[in-house]
């Protein structure tokens, strides 16, 4: 039963898209004030409790304005982080990643062209071809959440059963690359690089391509911690390049988490995991 449950769950969320069941809410409130509050919280969210409070603030925005795009994609970003950084069990991780996916789908649904296509039955990754730079955050965190749910919440058999669906998500990467591969320090470049680095060769993995795309991300994202962190974690560990591994991670650890371009809550996570990786590879 677990295999078939997960098979349905990972199928690009088509069985339960995030926008289903959302009702209009006629409630007054200060959305701009809540967004400003969230921005202040971001600068201090270095624990599970503080991240939970940040998420709640964005959820309060949606209680007033269900289609607020900034709150939707931000919930995708921080539910993803909650799953990666502060969730210990597979069940909790899966819940966080699924919530992130749903929030990002609601964000994409604010695009009228995408809404029309998915309402007509077009799969999400195909309908995403009409999305624009406005929706790239939702696309980015949707893909990352689907990928993390696949890698962290499924066993080997489940992953094999979902090979076709994972390949389907590559379309989302293609759409982001077509919009702007250098967006936010090369997020699309980095996602493509990680895609090739993580997957086994029979599913499309290619370390040479991974290296090429990580290098492209590094060229445009020199001040973003995630680029070198992910390159060390997913590429250097596979190629066995210990010198490059240490060089990238030591650079990440040396940065000021408040000043690096990545959001502070993510920088806290990157540096925490970096220290663990360095300690484990002394």
Tell me the Cα Rg of the chain: 18
What pLDDT is recorded for position 200?
82
Q: Output 12 or 268, whichever has higher pLDDT.
A: 268
| CATH T-level topology, domain 180-282 | 1.25.40
| Predicted local distance difference test score (pLDDT) of residue 165 | 66
Between helices 183-198 and 207-220, what is the axis angle to 10°? 170
Enumerate the CATH 1.25.40.920 domain ranges in the chain, comma separated: 180-282
Between 222 and 137, where is the model more confident?
137
Residue 23 has what pLDDT?
67
pLDDT at residue number 36: 98
Provide the pLDDT for residue 245: 97
pLDDT class of 239 with cuts at 50, 70, 90:
very high
Give the CA distances from residue 5 to residues 11, 93, 249, in Å, rounded to whole numbers and listed in that order.
10, 16, 37
SS3 label, residue 270: helix
17-53 pLDDT, tens digit each: 888 867 666 678 899 999 999 999 999 999 999 999 9
CA 7 to chain CA centroid, Å, is 20
- The pLDDT of residue 2 is 40
Q: Span 2-31, mean pLDDT?
A: 60
11 has pLDDT over 50: no
Per-residue confidence at 6, pLDDT binned at 50, 70, 90? very low
Measure CA of the first residue to CA of the last residue in the chain; give whole Å. Answer: 42
pLDDT score, position 150? 87
Query: 145-154, 210-219, 226-235, 270-279: which range is least confident on average?
Result: 145-154
Q: What is the pTM of this model?
A: 0.91
Tokens, residue 138: 């939702």
pLDDT score of 3: 38
- pLDDT tens sequence across 192-228: 999 999 888 877 899 999 999 999 999 999 999 999 9
CA–CA dist 108, 128 (Å, integer)? 8
């Amino acid at each position: 039963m677990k295999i078939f449950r997960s098979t349905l769950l990972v199928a690009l969320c088509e069985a339960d898209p995030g926008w289903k069941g959302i009702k209009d809410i006629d409630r007054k409130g200060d959305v701009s004030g809540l967004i400003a509050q969230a921005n202040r919280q971001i600068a201090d969210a270095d624990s599970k409790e503080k991240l939970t409070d940040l998420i709640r603030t964005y959820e309060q925005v949606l209680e007033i304005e269900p289609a607020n795009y900034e709150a939707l994609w931000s919930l995708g970003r921080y539910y993803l982080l909650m799953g990666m950084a502060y969730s210990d069990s597979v069940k909790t991780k899966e819940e966080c990643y699924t919530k992130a996916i749903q929030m990002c789908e609601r964000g994409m649904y604010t695009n009228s062209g995408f809404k029309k296509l998915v309402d007509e039955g077009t799969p999400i990754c195909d309908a995403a071809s009409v999305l624009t730079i406005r929706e790239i955050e939702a696309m980015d965190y949707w893909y990352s959440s689907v990928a993390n749910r696949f890698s962290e919440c499924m066993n080997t058999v489940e992953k094999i059963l979902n090979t076709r669906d994972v390949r389907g998500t590559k379309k989302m990467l293609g759409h982001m690359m077509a919009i702007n591969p250098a967006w936010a320090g090369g997020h699309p470049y980095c996602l493509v690089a990680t895609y090739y680095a993580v997957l086994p060769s029979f599913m499309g993995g290619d370390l040479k391509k991974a290296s090429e795309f990580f290098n492209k991300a590094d060229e445009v994202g020199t001040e973003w911690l995630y680029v070198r962190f992910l390159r060390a974690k997913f590429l250097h560990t596979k190629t066995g390049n210990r010198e490059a591994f240490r060089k990238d991670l030591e650079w990440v650890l040396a940065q000021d988490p408040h000043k690096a371009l990545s959001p502070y809550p993510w920088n806290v996570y990157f540096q925490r995991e970096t220290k663990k990786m360095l300690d484990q590879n002394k």
